[in-house]
Chains A and B, each alone.
Chain A
Amino acid sequence: MKKNGTSMAFYVPYGLWLALFVIAPVILIIYQSFFDINGHLTLANYQTYFSSGTYILMTFNSVWYAFLITVVTLLISYPTAYLLHYTKHKQLWLLLIILPTWINLLLKAYAFIGIFSQNGGINTFLGMLGIAPKQFLFTDFSFIFVASYIEIPFMILPIFNGIEELNESFVNASRDLGAKWWQTFTKVIWPLTISGVKSGVQAVFIPSLSLFMLTRLIGGNRVITLGTAIEEHFLVTMNWGMGSTIGVVLIVAMVIIMFLTGERKKRGRRA
């Protein structure tokens, strides 16, 4: 192919973007992580991170919350996606699943401040059943509930697409060979839709690590995640070095997740 003016036009803007907004920021955040708050080159940030129990605990907590959110979302989303696949007008229903994602996340979080508050919807409802008002806001439960609520559509979509791609004759073949519904599900449907589940898990788990706005609005600073810590270091205490260190840890965690859920090349598969 000739390298002429027009073909340069394809490469230059995109190449610039790759260099400036993908490679440079990653390098910069790693670079920044080696500086302390006074601008001295040091390994102290990493030392603090790994020696102080707080950061390790926070990391563990963060991963644990993200894990819970992912599991809750998956448990709700898989059956939903499966049942949606068999509805009439499924494209319409799917759009209704997508619609809430167009309402800004902050607005949805804000709604729950009202619903979960002392005099809010849930407690009014419980009151009608004769149950005393309970504290919902600023609990682990409310954080996981709201985060799952926000992430559900992002889990349903890839799973739905996975199920749509599943050839119906595989299901028929399995039944034909004597499998009951549950056997067909575990042996055929689930393995063949697992890639959709994996992308759903990716789409939910990673953002769940960084939901600092939710932890602030709903978790009431009780729930501290990696995202909250980074925001705190960058925008409140201005300790960019420590913030970057946490960021680097988060990047490493992310790479591990990607590796675990990523599509591995199937053995002997021909193109």
Chain B
Amino acid sequence: MSHTIIELQHVSKRYGDTVVLKDINIEIEQGKFYTLLGPSGSGKTTILRAIAGFLEVSEGDVLFDGQRINDVPANERKVNTVFQDYALFPHMNVFENVAYGLRIQKKPKKAVAQRVESALKMVRLEGYGDREISELSGGQQQRVAIARAIVLEPAVLLLDEPLSALDAKLRKDMQYELRELQQRLGITFLFVTHDQEEALALSDEIFVMNDGEVQQSGTPVDIYDEPINHFVADFIGESNIVAGHMIADYQVEFNGKTFECADAGMRPNEPVEVVLRPEDLDITSTDAGKVQVKVDTQLFRGDYYEIVAYDRLNNEWLIHSTNPAVDGDTVGLTFDAEDIHVMRLNESEEDFDARLESYEGE
């Protein structure tokens, strides 16, 4: 049983009339990699700052290890932050930056040197202690920022979009390193990003945020396969979302036809949204297809072709296919019953979980 290290209970934050956080309830367990994922302005960084102690919440409690820490100043909280712009002190070299927190704690010189050295080693920067910050590349600055935070052995490391300033290649490398670092240190990481791929790749658990609310939380696989609503389905990965009706359990109607699906527990004839991921769609002959679409344009993406097609109701369909199609051709699309994911309109996360339990448990 891992225990809860940080908990947010009914946390809200307002600036004047603008509400940036609405009744947030989050539990964070020890030793896992968590991600707050959402578009800019969704409130994810605000949550991070509330935990770090850089802002006061308007309502609700922030708990650390079961203790309310709303009034504990940032410098006394056992969490450390890796800032988006790194915030490395420009008047200190690498060593002094990493040693900063230890010097504040008045640790003996020898211990400081040892711990700084091992922190630098941890981020693969041994021997860089004498460098000035301005001499480092973006990726190296990133590592120093991480070393400076982990050298204090925090219970939780907060990372505020730390990879956003890096180029694509470096970013991928750093993703692997972050994941590895988290597993090696065994401390909790709370990572903020707007990049859904990054979130899916790194996290044990993701909180998807929008408009100051947590839309859905769960493992990357859960969130990808079973998005709770239109926003999550659209934000995470690429999706075809079409309107339909639930005929009965395991029977959904869309595009004028009834299909077998894996979802249940809804009212008969309830209006729903149906999600089909582009990689789950296969192109076949017009007759064999469950849906007939006309190919409009296609882009070669390296490992697949991205095809845009329209059905006779003029719904757009996105298809990922290993083989190219011919522009203007009418083709059929097939998919399995499990590939269909049905979303109710305005379903809360609790109801969603309860409904899944009710029929998946059978």
Name A residues whose Cβ lies closer than 8 Å to a Cβ of B.
167, 169-170, 172-180, 183, 187-188, 191-192, 266-270
Min C-beta distance of B111 to chain A, whole Å: 15
Query: B80 at interface (Cβ–Cβ under 8 A)?
Result: yes
B83 — nearest CB in chain A belongs to which residue? A169
Query: Is B52 a contact partner of A176 (Cβ separation < 8 A)?
Result: yes
A188 — nearest CB in chain B belongs to which residue? B89
| Extra contacts besides A175-B73, A176-B80, A178-B101 (6): CB < 8 Å | A167-B87, A173-B83, A175-B75, A176-B53, A177-B152, A187-B100
Q: Which chain B residues lie closer than 8 Å to A167 at the CB level?
A: 85, 87
Query: Is B53 a contact partner of A177 (Cβ separation < 8 A)?
Result: no
Query: Is B100 a contact partner of A177 (Cβ separation < 8 A)?
Result: yes
Q: A172-B83, A173-B89 are in contact. Are A180 and B75 (CB under 8 A)?
A: yes
Query: Is A173 a contact partner of B87 (Cβ separation < 8 A)?
Result: yes
Query: Is A175 a contact partner of B53 (Cβ separation < 8 A)?
Result: yes
Q: How many residues of B contact A (CB 8 A)?
A: 29
Query: Is A178 a contact partner of B89 (Cβ separation < 8 A)?
Result: no
Q: How far is the CA of A177 from the CA of B158 in the complex (A)?
A: 12
Choose one: A177, A180, A268; the contact of B134 (CB below 8 Å): A268
A-B contacts, 20 of them at CB < 8 A, read A169-B85, A170-B89, A173-B87, A174-B100, A175-B73, A176-B74, A176-B75, A176-B81, A177-B75, A177-B80, A178-B75, A178-B101, A178-B104, A178-B105, A192-B91, A266-B134, A267-B132, A268-B132, A268-B135, A269-B134
Query: Is B100 a contact partner of A175 (Cβ separation < 8 A)?
Result: no
Q: Which chain A residues lie closer than 8 Å to B135 at the CB level?
A: 268, 270
Q: Which chain A residues lie closer than 8 Å to B100 at the CB level?
A: 174, 177, 179, 187
Q: Which chain A residues lie closer than 8 Å to B89 at the CB level?
A: 170, 173-174, 188, 192
Per-position 1/0 for B78-98, Cβ under 8 A of A? 011101110111110000000
Q: How far is the CA of A178 from the CA of B53 in the complex (A)?
A: 11
Query: B143 at interface (Cβ–Cβ under 8 A)?
Result: no
A174 — nearest CB in chain B belongs to which residue? B100
Q: How far is the CA of A103 from the CA of B45 in the complex (A)?
A: 47
**Dominant secondary structure at the A interface:** helix
Q: A172-B74, A268-B134 are in contact. Are A177 and B83 (CB under 8 A)?
A: no
Min C-beta distance of B135 to chain A, whole Å: 6
Q: Which chain A residues lie closer than 8 Å to B44 at the CB level?
A: none
Query: B148 at interface (Cβ–Cβ under 8 A)?
Result: yes
Q: How far is the CA of A266 from the CA of B54 in the complex (A)?
A: 32
Q: Which chain B residues lie closer than 8 Å to A176 at the CB level?
A: 52-54, 74-75, 79-81, 149
Q: How far is the CA of A173 from the CA of B74 in the complex (A)?
A: 10
Name B residues whose Cβ lies closer than 8 Å to a Cβ of A.
52-54, 73-76, 79-81, 83-85, 87-91, 100-101, 104-105, 131-132, 134-135, 148-149, 152
Min C-beta distance of A88 to chain B, whole Å: 13
Q: How far is the CA of A177 from the CA of B98 in the complex (A)?
A: 10
Min C-beta distance of B139 to chain A, whole Å: 16
Residue from B74, B85, B148 having most chain A Cβ neighbours under 10 A = B74
Q: Which chain B residues lie closer than 8 Å to A188 at the CB level?
A: 89
Q: Which chain A residues lie closer than 8 Å to B149 at the CB level?
A: 176-177
Residue from B87, B88, B101 having most chain A Cβ neighbours under 10 A = B87
Q: How far is the CA of A179 from the CA of B105 in the complex (A)?
A: 8
Query: Is A183 a contact partner of B104 (Cβ separation < 8 A)?
Result: yes
Q: How far is the CA of A172 from the CA of B87 in the complex (A)?
A: 9
Min C-beta distance of A84 to chain B, whole Å: 22
Q: A188-B89, A192-B90 are in contact. Are A172 and B152 (CB under 8 A)?
A: no
Q: A178-B105, A187-B100 are in contact. Are A269 and B74 (CB under 8 A)?
A: no
Min C-beta distance of B45 to chain A, whole Å: 12
Q: Which chain B residues lie closer than 8 Å to A170 at the CB level?
A: 87, 89
Question: 10 closest A-B pairs (Cβ-Cβ)?
Answer: A177-B101, A173-B87, A169-B87, A175-B74, A175-B75, A176-B81, A178-B104, A191-B91, A179-B104, A268-B132
Q: How far is the CA of A179 from the CA of B87 in the complex (A)?
A: 15
Residue from A169, A183, A188 having most chain B Cβ neighbours under 10 A = A169
Q: A167-B87, A178-B75, A188-B89 are in contact. Are A173 and B134 (CB under 8 A)?
A: no
Q: How far is the CA of A160 from the CA of B340 in the complex (A)?
A: 61
Q: Which chain B residues lie closer than 8 Å to A192 at the CB level?
A: 89-91
Q: Which chain B residues lie closer than 8 Å to A177 at the CB level?
A: 75, 80, 100-101, 104, 148-149, 152
Q: How far is the CA of A180 from the CA of B76 in the complex (A)?
A: 9
Q: How far is the CA of A25 from the CA of B54 in the complex (A)?
A: 56
Q: How far is the CA of A175 from the CA of B88 in the complex (A)?
A: 13
Min C-beta distance of A271 to chain B, whole Å: 10
Q: Which chain B residues lie closer than 8 Å to A178 at the CB level?
A: 75-76, 101, 104-105, 152
Min C-beta distance of A67 to chain B, whole Å: 26
A187 — nearest CB in chain B belongs to which residue? B100
Min C-beta distance of B187 to chain A, whole Å: 15
Q: How far is the CA of A183 from the CA of B74 in the complex (A)?
A: 13
Q: How far is the CA of A175 from the CA of B49 in the complex (A)?
A: 12
Min C-beta distance of A191 to chain B, whole Å: 5
Q: Which chain B residues lie closer than 8 Å to A174 at the CB level?
A: 89, 100
Min C-beta distance of B96 to chain A, whole Å: 10
Q: Which chain A residues lie closer than 8 Å to B54 at the CB level?
A: 172, 175-176
Q: How far is the CA of A58 from the CA of B8 in the complex (A)?
A: 68
Choose one: B73, B81, B105; the contact of A173 (CB below 8 Å): B81
Q: How far is the CA of A49 from the CA of B132 in the complex (A)?
A: 47
Q: Which chain B residues lie closer than 8 Å to A175 at the CB level?
A: 53-54, 73-75
A183 — nearest CB in chain B belongs to which residue? B104
Q: Which chain A residues lie closer than 8 Å to B152 at the CB level?
A: 177-178
Q: How far is the CA of A183 from the CA of B103 in the complex (A)?
A: 10
Query: Is A269 a contact partner of B132 (Cβ separation < 8 A)?
Result: yes
Min C-beta distance of B48 to chain A, whole Å: 11
Q: Which chain A residues lie closer than 8 Å to B148 at the CB level?
A: 173, 177
